[in-house]
Amino acid sequence: MALLSPPTDNLYKFIAIAGVVLLVGPWFVYFPESRELSARSFQARRRIASNQKQVEMTKAQADDLGRQIRELNRIELQTLPPGSPDSDKRRELKTRNETLGQRLATSEVNAAETGVDSVEITDLRTEIERLLLGSIAFSIAGVLLSLLGFYLWFIRVQRFEDAALVARAKAGSSPGLL
């Protein structure tokens, strides 16, 4: 005897059981996949928050450096006669300008990474929704298939078997059945 034998004795029972499998099966796929996609979405949100903080800090530092540079420019222009050679202050000003440019470039990179992470979150959300809709569709198909299988089994097979059983019981041919 085989361990698993399909119900070949009756096609309607097989249809009903297949419907039950379709009803339950998709959820065994949806829940683990949904959990993984949600975890990836959470990580992307954390990266976005981190990048946004870095962008804000860099912009604040850039604003501060910009104010300092403007102040140094003002002081430099007031204290140095036009056409004088580079002073230490002028070199410091040049270095600060370069630092400001680097920080602003870093800020732009972080802002771009935030945009990429936002797209990733949108894609993950779309994939979760697609999985959910697919699971619901297969479950609805499973319910309909089960109902059809059980209905056909009852209408085309079980009613007649019940009627034959009642007739045998009344005739007394199987006294052990009642």
| Helix axis angle, 88-153 to 11-79, nearest 10° | 170
Q: Establish if 65 belongs to a structural domain.
A: yes
Q: Establish if 118 belongs to a structural domain.
A: yes
Task: Work out the pLDDT band at 82, boundaries 50, 70, 90.
Answer: low
Q: Are 16 and 143 in contact (CB under 8 A)?
A: no
Q: Establish if 169 belongs to a structural domain.
A: no
Mean pLDDT of the region 75-94? 63
For residue range 50-75, what is the model confidence (pLDDT) as tens digits? 777 777 777 777 777 777 777 776 76
Residue 33 makes CB contacts below 8 A (sequence gap 6+) with: 131
Evaluate if residue 175 carries a pLDDT over 60: no
Range of the domain at 122: 11-164
Q: Establish if 44 belongs to a structural domain.
A: yes
Evaluate if residue 136 carries a pLDDT over 80: yes
Mean pLDDT of the region 24-48? 86
- Number of domain units in the chain: 1
Task: Return d(Cα 125, Cα 37) in angstroms, integer.
Answer: 8
Q: Establish if 131 belongs to a structural domain.
A: yes
pTM above 0.75, yes or no: no
